[in-house]
Each structure stands twice: as structure tokens, then as C-alpha cells.
Amino acid sequence: MTINWQFSGVLLASLTMGLVACSGNSAKETAAPVTLLNKAATAESQSGCGNDAAYTIEGKHYQVLPSAAGYAENGTAAWYGAEYQGTETAGCEVFDMYGYSAAHRTLPLPSFARVKNQQNGKQIIVRINDRGPFDSGDLIQLSFAAANALGIKARTGAPVEVAAIPPDQLPAEARSAMQPSNKAVAKAAEPEDKSKPYYVIAGTWPDRNTSLDMFVRLTAAGLAKTEMATAQQNGQEMYQVRVGPLYSQDQIDNVKDILESNGLANFKVVAR
């Protein structure tokens, strides 16, 4: 029997925006200091990776800025996490979801930016070492740790201010103590084949609240691609929590490792 699962976008949007509202509305903007992490940034020259003057992704053209100097823009932020842990960034570094890093479509790699959450005034300095986001209209895509530090729970659409910081204007502690998240990797990552997406199914329940609890649990664990789908089965509405779409064995293995480390062994991988 084939069950047609439908992504519950409105439901999840309401949930995630509610989480953001709960996490940050009480903060005062004037009292929010800039937070630094010991892996956020280091003053160094541009990388040879990811700095082509122009590039094209899915038919859309992008122009890389020759310099980050003077860059400032308001927009929204997304975040990514466990699905990409340990994979190569466009800047030829290894993605670390626990470091303060981010992806940006046009800033030079690496560069450094102050990101401010416009909903609660929290701000941090991140190292731009990746390209994206390309599957949403967000301005910047933060690492799991960076989003968490800013109080951002929604996977996309969080209002932020992004302002580039020249290396010589980084705080003294950043220049002296902060190192890039990982060493450069020798082999470039192979392009993803998006013609056959996979999903890791965490569970299916008839109870909506049980499914919402699982959704929140997986999102809090850094699985940014967690989503909920609904379908009618034998006349009853069922709720499925899944992680995806995933396009490589590495992404699937990362999700499985996170689930197992959180005591969730009863999952299955399916192709759509």
C-alpha cells in the first residue's frame, strides 16, 4: 500500500517561530554583547577555494565580492548542522557544527562578520567559510552553534543584520586565540546527485503531540532538515517525523549517528 505523505510546512513554521518567540523576545538590544567562540575566526588571507569571481548554481548566477570591506546587509538567517558534520565546505575546510561559522553566497572565503539577531539583540562573530544558502532566500546560513548562540531555533527566516569585519578590526582575543574550525581537506567533495533524495524516518505516530515532541528533540540535536509529514492511513491521520532530503551516504550516516547517540535506534532509510 502506498501512503502519500504531505510535508506539514504550515505546522512546522508555526512551531519554529513559536520557539524563536519564546527564546528571545525578553532580551534588550542595548544589553547584548558580542559573543566570541574559541573556533570562530582567525585573521588570514583569502582562500584559494570558493573564490571564483562568479559561479552558477541551478541556473542562477552569483558574483563574489572582491573584498568584504564595507559590507553590511539586513536579511534572514537559516542554519545547518548534523547532516553536514565533517563534510567539506566551499572554502576547503571541514564543517564543524559546533564552531561559529556560516555560509554566504558572495562574501570572500574566509571572511568574518558580526551577525545580530534582530529579535533579541544577541550578536556574535562568525567565520564565513562556505557558500550558500541555495535552497532558500535567506541571506546567510549559520552553523548549529552560531544559531544556538543567537537564540535562533527556526531553520529559516530569522531576521538578522550581517556586517563584515576586516581582519585587522577583529577583537584582540579573536586575533590571538581563535583558529579556523578545521584544517583544509585535500580532496574536494563530489557534487551531490539530487535526482534521488533519501529520508531517515524517525517514527510515525497517530498522535500529533508525540510527533511534535520528536520534531523538537531532533531539531535541538542539530538535525536542521527535520520535518513532519502527514497522511491518511486506513481513515486515520498519521504523523511522520523524518530527516531529509539527503543526497549522499555521508549525510545519511551523520543523521544515523546523531539518532543513535540520542537513543533512537528504531529508524529506517527510504528513497523517495
* Residue at 207: amino acid letter: D
Residue 26 counted as domain residue: no
Cell matching residue 51: 573564490
**Which of 131, 146, 177 represents a domain boundary (last residue)?**
177
pLDDT at 50: 87
Same domain, 207 and 148: no
pLDDT above 80 for 23:
no
Q: Stretch 127-150: mean pLDDT, rounded?
A: 93
pLDDT above 70 for 126:
yes
Same domain, 72 and 140: yes
Same domain, 68 and 154: yes
pLDDT above 60 for 29:
no
CATH number at residue 256: 3.30.70.1070
Rounded-to-integer distance, Cα 151 and Cα 17, Å: 12
pLDDT above 50 for 20:
no
Same domain, 100 and 220: no
Same domain, 171 and 204: no
Residue 23 counted as domain residue: no
CA separation (Å) from 45 to 87, 108, 142? 22, 10, 22
Residues 6+ apart with CB under 8 A from 155: 16, 78, 79, 219, 224, 225
**Which of 131, 147, 177 represents a domain boundary (last residue)?**
177
CATH number at residue 66: 2.40.40.10
Pairing state between β 6-7 and 226-233: antiparallel
Range of the domain at 149: 32-177
What is the per-residue pLDDT across 66-79, written as a single tens digit (0 to 9) for each?
999 999 999 999 99
Same domain, 200 and 146: no
Same domain, 99 and 126: yes
pLDDT at 99: 86
* Residue at 69: amino acid letter: A
What is the per-residue pLDDT across 70-118, written as a single tens digit (0 to 9) for each?
999 999 999 998 888 888 999 999 998 888 899 999 999 999 999 999 9
Q: Is 25 exposed, middle or buried (0-12, 13-18, 19+ CB in 10 A)?
A: exposed
Cell matching residue 175: 586575533
Residue 135 counted as domain residue: yes
- Cβ-contact 79, 104 below 8 angstroms: no
Q: Structural domain tally of the chain?
A: 2
